[in-house]
Amino acid sequence: MGTGTKCIGQNKMRKTGDVLNDSHAEIVAKRSFQRYLLHQMWLAASHQQCSIFIPGTETGKWKLKPNVIFVFFSSHTPCGDASIIPMSEPVSQLCKPATGAGAVGQLAEYRSNHDHLGPEDERKSEKMAGDYKIKRMKTDNGYFSIITEDLAVQQGSVKREDDTNPESCEGSVERQTANKETTLGRPKVADVYRTGAKCVPGELSDARIPGLGYHCVGLLRVKPGRGDRTCSMSCSDKLARWNVLGCQGALLMHFLQYPLYLSAIIVGKCPYNQEVMRRAIIERTLFQGPVRKMLISGNSHFQNMALWSVEKRCQHISCLPAGFVTQEVKLLQSDLQFEHSHRAIQEAQTNSKTKLVPSSAAISWSAVPEQPLDVTSDGFRQGTTKKMIGSHQSRSKICKVELFHAFQKLVMSISQEDLPDTLRMKTLETYWDYKEAAVNYQEAWKVLRSQALMGWVKNGKEYLHFT
C-alpha cells in the first residue's frame, strides 16, 4: 500500500540511493510491492511452502503459483496522460458562459491538477483562444488535430463513456456555438481535465490554449516540482512501462522466469474515461517521422498547430525478449470514493473556507514481518533532521539502497550452484552492476524505449553507482 503526492526536485537527488525521488502514491505502492516480493522470494529460496513462488524450469528461476494474480487499485487516475480526460455535460445543463481572462482563471483554479497559468500565460491563452479552433482531419496514417483560425470557441467530438458533470458553472468555457450538431441531452465536450505533469524537456509541449486545445495527448511527461524541476516521469508513463516490463524491476528479474504483470488496474470514483486510460497505459499516441522533427525543431509552418497521429505504439512492439509482452491489462473503475480524497473532503466541508493542503508525508506498508510500516517526508523517514541525513536511521525501507541491500541478502543466502546464470560466478558490486546484469530485462527496456517511450528521462549513472 502507498500514499503520497510529492516529488523531490533534481537538486535534492542523491548519489547514495538513500532518498525517495518519487513519493506519488502509485510509486510508493509499487516499491512497497517490490519489498513484499523480495520477502516472498526469500521464503521460496528457503524452501518454505508459504511463498507465492514455485520453482521454474531454469536453475535459480522461480515463477508464480497458479491462480496468483495482482490487482492495482488507485483512488484517482494516475497523473500525466491518463488524467487528460474530456469534460462533458448534457446540453440541458449548460450554464451561462464565462468570458475573457476570468474564464481562463476559473478553469485553471477549478480544473487544474496544480497547473496554474501566470498573468502572461493568461493573456496569451485568451488571445489564442479567440484566434483558433481545433479540427480533426483524417489521413492515410490516422487522424490529425489541427488548430486553425477564425473561431473563438473550442469544438470537439470526443466520445466518452463515463460523464463527469462539473460541480460548478463558474468554471465553464465559452460554449455558445460548441458542436451545433449535438442533440438535446447528448454529452458535449466542453474542456479537458488538466494534469500538472510537464512535457519532457526537448520534446513536444502543450499548446496551453484554454479549452480542448490546452494539452497535447499521448506525450511523455515529468512530474511538477516547486521551482526545481523533477526527473520523475508521470505515473501514467510508469504504468505504461510496467505494462511491458512488469512490476518486479530489474533486480528481481534475475530470479524470475517471467515478468510479473498486473491483471487489472482499478481506479476509484473520480473523473475517469476508459478510452483515455487505455490510450495512456496500453496504446499511447506518437509523433512520427518528419512531422515530429519539424514540431520539435520549431518549424514556423507548424508553430500554431497541434498534431498527433493515433498509433497503438505499445501494442505493436517487436523483438521483445522471451517472456516480455504488452500486457492486455484490464482497466476498470470502482464506484467507491476514497473517503480521504480531496473531492470527498471538499464535499464534506461545503461551507468551510479552510484551504485544503496535501500532506507532505508518504505512507508505505508491505506484508513483511519486520517494520511493515514506513512513513517518509521529503524523501526521508519522517522525523529526519538535517544532521541525520546520510545515516541509516534516515532511510526509508523502500529507497533504492535499502531494497538493494535486501536483494543482496537474498543473493547471499543462496548457494552458488543454485543461483541463476546471471548471478553465478559474477563480479558484481554496485546497484548499477546488478541492474545491468539482468540482461533480458535491460534488452526489453531498450526495445521499449526505442519503439514506444522515446524521450524517457533517465537519471545519470552517477546516481546508481552505490553499494
Burial environment of residue 412 by CB neighbours within 10 A (0 to 12, 13 to 18, 19 or more): exposed
Question: What are the strands, taking DSSP E only, across 316-358?
Answer: 330-333
* Grid cell in block for residue 225: 516540482
The residue behind cell 458553472 is 169
Distance CA 191, CA 108 (A): 11
Q: Which residues of 24-59 are buried (b: 16+ CB within 10 A; e: fewer)?
A: bbbbbbbbbbbbbbbbbbbebbeeeeebbbeebeee
Residues written for the chain? 467
Could you give the residue ranges of the DSSP H alpha helices within 112-188? 119-131
Strands 264-267 and 330-333, sheet pairing:
parallel
Burial environment of residue 443 by CB neighbours within 10 A (0 to 12, 13 to 18, 19 or more): middle
Question: DSSP assignment of 399-414, as one string?
Answer: SHHHHHHHHHHHHHTS
Distance CA 399, CA 173 (A): 44
DSSP for residue 91 = G
What backbone torsions phi and psi does residue 77 show, to the nearest 5 degrees?
-60, 140
The answer to whether residues 435 and 250 touch, using CB atoms and an 8 Å cutoff, is yes
Residue whose C-alpha is closest to residue 67's, from 50, 52, 46 = 52
Q: What is the 3-state secondary structure (H, E, C) of 43-89?
A: HHHCCCCCCCEEECCCCCCEEECCCCCCEEEECCCCCCHHHCCEEEE
The residue behind cell 526495445 is 447
Residue whose C-alpha is closest to residue 37's, from 259, 252, 323 = 252
Catalytic center residues: 26
Distance CA 109, CA 104 (A): 9
Element (H, E) at 437: helix 431-437
Which residues neighbour 100 within 8 Å (Cβ) at sequence distance 6 or greater? 126
